[in-house]
Amino acid sequence: MELTELKNNWISQFPHPLVIAGPCSAESESQMLETARRMQDSGAAIPVFRAGIWKPRTKPNGFEGVGTIGLAWLKKVREEFGFKTATEVANAHHVKAALDADVDILWIGARTTVNPFAVQEIADALHGTQKTVLVKNPVNPDLALWIGALERLLGAGIHNLGAIHRGFSTYRKTNYRNIPNWQIALDFKNQFPDIPLIVDPSHICGNRTGLASVAQEALNVGYQGVMIETHSNPDAAWSDARQQITPEVLAVLLQNLKVRSTRVSGFDEELERYRTLISDLDFQVIDLLSQRMNISEKIGLIKSDHNLTIFQPDRWKAVTEYAVRKAEETGMSQDFIEKIFKAIHEQSVDVQNNVMRTK
């Protein structure tokens, strides 16, 4: 069986969009139960409670999760409040413990998806079960790796599959913790329209302010769910404190989401898809311009140290000629590119003047 043949009906047991919420990490029984109680009291439709029991941390000496004791708390959350439960598994031991504790949904984290040995080990450990498994995109923007992980699970007979878009890491400092790179997730969606795609704005943003707009953008292009980290006391969270929100804030966020029917009309969805891709590119254009200005600043320093003039006509002529030639190759108007480069040059001169003024 191929991934494209999967009919993922598991998600239709949940209201649209599927909301998965709960703390980044399970910390204590009282933290889990209080978060769950307040999620329920908020009145929002949240069917699935998440909590990380084992935490893959980039650096050593961080909090690596409470371990199996947390599974008992997760069970209590289900028994007392009726949530379905979800946790991350990264090896066969985690899978066995999570199966023993009857966790409803398992997910494979971004740092595990990159490792085919680990994914295969997890798939083998799941063989013969009918668990629902969600695969987060790998930390690096590699669609094949993401698909490969799902194929390994399918190969082990797991049919209830979903994908989570949690953004991609980048060396550049940006407003995102992990840049969304919508193009990759939308390529995934195009290739596998029947595999539910869930957005994780928490790990994309890394802060609280961007969550709502990332969640909305995802729903606009037809995602079927959101996973949002929610904590009874976010500021005191043992992991990912800056991006977690309270159950009450989550309820407001969910209430303000404009939910579309899963089957939006073709042209609407296409329009939204293109708009999302355009914002992705705009983000990159701005990011590149800011990198360019940072370099201009460094050049300004060198010129200042060596008493050179800021404006060097030959150099500028070469830059413009190169840009115009590139414009021709890509079929864009020369006039347009000249205008843009004139504006860039003006800004670059300003930046360098500022450097000289403040030296």
The site map against ligand PEP for 172-191 (x = CB under 6 A) is --------------------
110 touching ligand PEP, by CB under 6 A: yes
Q: Determine how many CB atoms are found less than 10 A away from the CB of residue 294.
A: 10
Shortest distance, position 136 Cβ to ligand PEP, whole Å = 5
Instruction: Find which of Mn ion, ligand PEP, none residue 70 binds, CB within 5 to 8 Å per kind.
Output: none
Shortest distance, position 227 Cβ to ligand PEP, whole Å = 7
Coil, strand or helix at 160:
strand
Indicate the residue among 164 and 337 with the shorter CB distance to ligand PEP. 164
52 touching ligand PEP, by CB under 6 A: yes
- Looking from the CA of 257 toward its CB, the CA atoms found within 13 Å total 28
CA distance 142 to 158: 22
CA distance 19 to 105: 13
240 touching Mn ion, by CB under 5 A: yes
65 touching ligand PEP, by CB under 6 A: no
Site for ligand PEP in 248-307 (CB under 6 A): none
Instruction: Find which of ligand PEP, Mn ion, none residue 110 binds, CB within 5 to 8 Å per kind.
Output: ligand PEP
The site map against Mn ion for 280-309 (x = CB under 5 A) is ------------------------------
Indicate the residue among 189 and 203 with the shorter CB distance to ligand PEP. 203
CA separation, residue 344 to residues 17, 48, 50, 260, 338 (Å): 43, 49, 47, 40, 10
Q: How many residues bind ligand PEP (CB under 6 A)?
A: 8
Residues, the chain, total? 359
166 touching ligand PEP, by CB under 6 A: yes
Single residue of 131, 177, 203, 231 touching ligand PEP by CB under 6 A:
203
Shortest distance, position 203 Cβ to ligand PEP, whole Å = 4
Single residue of 18, 19, 21, 24 touching ligand PEP by CB under 6 A:
24
Which two three-digit tokens encode residue 152?
């390994």
Residue sitting closest to ligand PEP (CB): 109
Residue (of 124, 126, 276) closest to 197 by Cα position: 276
φ/ψ of residue 245, rounded to 5: -125, 165
Indicate the burial class of 64 (C-beta count within 10 angstroms; 0-12, 13-18, 19 or more). Answer: middle
Indicate the residue among 105 and 327 with the shorter CB distance to ligand PEP. 105
Coil, strand or helix at 294:
helix
24 touching Mn ion, by CB under 5 A: yes
Q: Which helix (DSSP H) or strand (DSSP E) does residue 339 occupy? A: helix 334-358
CA distance 326 to 245: 46
Coil, strand or helix at 211:
helix
Candidate segments 21-29, 36-44, 152-160, 290-298, binder of Mn ion by CB under 5 A: 21-29
Indicate the residue among 230 and 352 with the shorter CB distance to Mn ion. 230
Single residue of 109, 138, 222, 225 touching ligand PEP by CB under 6 A:
109
Q: How is 249-297 classified by DSSP, letter by letter?
A: HHHHHHHH--PPPSS--HHHHHHHHHHHHHHHHHHHHHHHHHHHHHHHH
Candidate segments 92-100, 105-113, 155-163, 218-226, binder of ligand PEP by CB under 6 A: 105-113
Q: Determine how many CB atoms are found less than 10 A away from the CB of residue 8.
A: 16
CA separation, residue 261 to residues 162, 170, 219, 224 (Å): 19, 33, 9, 10
Instruction: Find which of Mn ion, ligand PEP, none residue 189 binds, CB within 5 to 8 Å per kind.
Output: none
Q: Name the residues that contact Mn ion, by CB under 5 A.
A: 24, 240
Q: Name the residues that contact ligand PEP, by CB under 6 A.
A: 24, 52, 109-111, 136, 166, 203
